[in-house]
Structure 1
Amino acid sequence: MDSLISAAAQALAAGDPLGALNRVALRDDPPALALRGIAMARLGDVIRAKVLLRQAARGFGPKAAMARARCAVAEAEIALAARDLSWPTKTLAEARTTLEQHGDRTNAAYARSLEIRRMVLVGQLDEAERGLADLDPSPLHPAARTIYELIVAGLALRRLQTKAARSALERASRTAHRTRSPELHAEIERAATTLSAPAARLTRDGEDHLLQLDEVEALFRSDMLILDACRLSIRQGSQIVPLARRPVLFALARRLVEKSPDGVPRTELIAHAFRGKDADESHRARLRVEIGRLRHLLRGLAEVNATKDGFALRPGGNRDVVVLAPPVEDENASVLACLADGEAWSSSGLAVALGESQRTVQRALESLASSGKVQSFGRGRAQRWTCTVVTEFATALLLPAWSSLD
């Protein structure tokens, strides 16, 4: 490695991409191209960064397996920063294996942390937990170690483990002081604010109360029967009944819980769950079927009994029953929650993260854009979306967490 390449690498490690470019901007050998690509990514030119890294990988050739693997890891890092969640994860796994075989423990550990970060973004929490348990962060440099602690904190927030999240953020803050990266400090500060921001609205006996994440965590440990309108489920203690993919059952359950222990007329349930203006015999027959399905799902948690003109929900063991909802309810709340991380997302990235079709996400973005809540820049495949307003509540309960519920 010549002196200019070494100096450029040191400048990048110190958080000075312009200093790195000053040393290698006019060179087109593979090491210089790789460093230029990383520097351009740090400066926000993601498209140019990808081109440079691919040129570098081709330039290294098949015999320089470790150098090519490092380029693949850098490209994966750029894809994650650009929220390109469709980037091939197999390529990153192969690069990590190559680095491990060649004894590059530092970059191999960083590649694994990128894999885990993607898992957290798309809600694969169980897989992310297993990955963190197997990852040794000791080889990571300060910036990468900070990112590792942010991953730990993000996973803890999704799991509503606020004490663990706070500890991870404190470690991240200490490690970040050894770097000169304002982006890392901003990300730590953004994550820390979620611990004190309103996270949900609790409705009990007709009264609403705003709760922070630690209060929601305590609520989930109680023996109350909770209709969770944030993650579309019903839970009591460790028992969780996911209803995210069964909107009719969730709509019926919510109306029954809101009126419990009183009954709800059949006409009201039909209008609420089926969007029917006039209840005819077919609606009543469908209501009986859906109530039967709901009874089966709630067995052991609550009973759904017929009344003179409708149905009533009564929790088992004379437990209290409450509704937990987002502070501000919006049919596109999950899209806003993803955009609230401050990054620019593509519609395809949002679709992967939320488990929805890209067209469904595009319609949600168009609706949010018409109300001034989001804005876009770029066109075609380069189009990205950002949140135009700062979210004043914690979004952890609205982010995807498929593994823990489904």
Structure 2
Amino acid sequence: MDSLITAAARALATGDPLGALKRVALRDDPPALALRGIAMAQLGDLVRAKALLKSAARAFGRREAVARARCVVAEAEIALVSRDLTWPAKALDAARATLEEHGDRVNAAHALNVEVRRLLLIGRLDEAERMLAGFDPSPLPPGLRAAHELAVAGIAARRLQTHAAHAALTRAAEAARQADIPALTAEVESASLVLKTPAARLIARGEERPLLLEEVEALLSSGALVIDACRNVVRDERLAVSLATRPILFALARALAEAWPGDVTRSTLLSRAFRAKHADESHRARLRVEIGRLRAELRALADISATDRGFRLAPRHAREVIVLAPPVEERHAAVLAFLADGESWSSSALAIALDASPRTVQRALEQLAADGKVQAFGRGPARRWMTPPLTGFPTILLLPGPLPSD
């Protein structure tokens, strides 16, 4: 490897893409093409970066397996940044295996981190944790250590393990300081805002207030009966009952919880659960049926008794009943939560991340666009959706993934 290629690679490692381009911008040999592609990616021209990396991978011979694998890892990272979740994950896994086989542990670790970040983005926390289990980041250079700790913090935050998330972010900040890469430092600072931004609202006894992530964690272990409107789950310290596929039952449970320790009138329950403005006997009969179903679902957690006006919720073991609600409640909030990262998303990538049908996501995007909340760029397969980051808009509790007790 000649001195210009070596100098360009070192410049890229320290976050200096312009310095790298000064050395290889006019060269078209495979190593130079690869470095130019990485430099363009760091400068934000992802389309040009992808083309250069593909050219480099084709130009490397079959005997240059390590160089080709490095190009694949770089392409995978570009795909992740551009939210191309349809990019073949198996190719990245094969590239990582090649790098490990040939002793390139640094780039193999980078490939692992890209895989974990992708799994984290689509909410597959168990798989991400298994991949990181037993991995020791200490031999890595500071930049990769920071990226590793960011992935660890992301998993911990989504598991509502705030102490572990804070510790990982502290380690990431120290590694980013040692790496002295401004973009990496900014990424760590941005990730740290998750722990400082309200992540939910507490509603109890007619009052409500915002909660930080650590307060949410404390609430779930407080012994209270929590009606979790972020995940449509009713839980206490002992048991969790999911009503995610029973929206009417959850609406009834939430209405009863918000009124606790009082009761809720039948007309209010009909309005909340069935959106019935003018209830008739059929609505009242259906309400009795749904209340019976809710009693059966929550029999281990609470009783529901009839009153003169309507119904009352009475917890079996808890001394307090609390509703945990998202800070922002509106239609298609989950779609907005993903778009709030400021990146451009395709509808197919959003469908993968949300585990929803492409048509459902497309309808949501069209409605949000009509309301002026998102914008589309491009046409056909190249169409992307994005929105400016919403100040204070939380994403953690809207992303898929189980809580510690699930």
Q: TM-score, normalised by structure 1?
A: 0.92
* Match in the other structure for 1:315: 315
Q: Residue type matched to 1:347 in 2? A: S
Contact 1:124–1:403 under 8 Å retained in 2:
no
How many Å apart are 1:151 and its aligned residue? Answer: 0.9
Q: 366-375 or 30-39, which moves further after superposition?
A: 366-375
How many Å apart are 1:278 and its aligned residue? Answer: 4.2
Q: 375-384 or 83-92, which moves further after superposition?
A: 375-384
* Match in the other structure for 1:235: 235
Compared CA separation, residues 87 and 239, structure 1 to 2 (3 A): farther
Q: Residue type matched to 2:400 in 1? A: P
* Match in the other structure for 2:105: 105
Q: Residue type matched to 2:340 in 1? A: A
* Match in the other structure for 2:174: 174
Please show how residues 128-207 of structure 1 align to structure 2 within 5 Å.
Answer: 128-207=128-207
Compared CA separation, residues 261 and 38, structure 1 to 2 (3 A): same
Deviations 1:286-312 (CA, angstroms, capped at 9, x unpaired): 444433443333231112334456433
Please show how residues 213-224 of structure 1 align to structure 2 within 5 Å.
Answer: 213-224=213-224
* Match in the other structure for 2:358: 358
* Match in the other structure for 2:85: 85
CA distance in 1, matches of 2:348, 2:405: 23
Compared CA separation, residues 181 and 384, structure 1 to 2 (3 A): farther
CA distance in 1, matches of 2:319, 2:177: 48
* Match in the other structure for 1:9: 9
Partner secondary structure for residue 241 of structure 1: strand
Partner secondary structure for residue 194 of structure 1: helix
Compared CA separation, residues 322 and 180, structure 1 to 2 (3 A): same
1:30 aligns with 2:30: yes
* Match in the other structure for 1:44: 44
Partner secondary structure for residue 227 of structure 1: strand
CA distance in 1, matches of 2:322, 2:403: 24
* Match in the other structure for 2:119: 119
CA distance in 2, matches of 1:269, 1:13: 60
CA distance in 2, matches of 1:330, 1:161: 27
Unaligned runs of 5+ in 2: none
CA distance in 2, matches of 1:17, 1:238: 53
Contact 1:123–1:403 under 8 Å retained in 2:
no
Q: Give the length in aligned residue pairs.
A: 406
Partner secondary structure for residue 87 of structure 2: coil
Partner secondary structure for residue 178 of structure 2: coil
Compared CA separation, residues 317 and 370, structure 1 to 2 (3 A): same
Partner secondary structure for residue 388 of structure 1: coil
* Match in the other structure for 1:274: 274
Partner secondary structure for residue 271 of structure 1: helix
Contact 1:109–1:136 under 8 Å retained in 2:
no
Compared CA separation, residues 63 and 220, structure 1 to 2 (3 A): same
* Match in the other structure for 2:209: 209
Contact 1:372–1:388 under 8 Å retained in 2:
no
Q: Residue type matched to 1:211 in 2? A: L
CA distance in 1, matches of 2:234, 2:312: 16
Q: Residue type matched to 2:60 in 1? A: F
Deviations 1:331-379 (CA, angstroms, capped at 9, x unpaired): 2222222222333322222221111222322333333334443334333
Compared CA separation, residues 402 and 76, structure 1 to 2 (3 A): farther
Deviations 1:226-269 (CA, angstroms, capped at 9, x unpaired): 11112222121252222333322221211121223434344433
Q: 309-318 or 192-201, which moves further after superposition?
A: 309-318
Partner secondary structure for residue 178 of structure 1: helix
Contact 2:256–2:264 under 8 Å retained in 1:
yes
Q: Residue type matched to 2:47 in 1? A: I
Deviations 1:56-89 (CA, angstroms, capped at 9, x unpaired): 2222233322222211111111111112222221
Q: Residue type matched to 2:4 in 1? A: L
CA distance in 2, matches of 1:134, 1:238: 30
Compared CA separation, residues 404 and 343, structure 1 to 2 (3 A): farther
Unaligned runs of 5+ in 1: none
How many Å apart are 1:42 and its aligned residue? Answer: 1.0
* Match in the other structure for 2:96: 96
Compared CA separation, residues 232 and 133, structure 1 to 2 (3 A): same
* Match in the other structure for 2:18: 18
Q: Residue type matched to 1:105 in 2? A: R
> RMSD in angstroms over aligned alpha carbons?
2.3
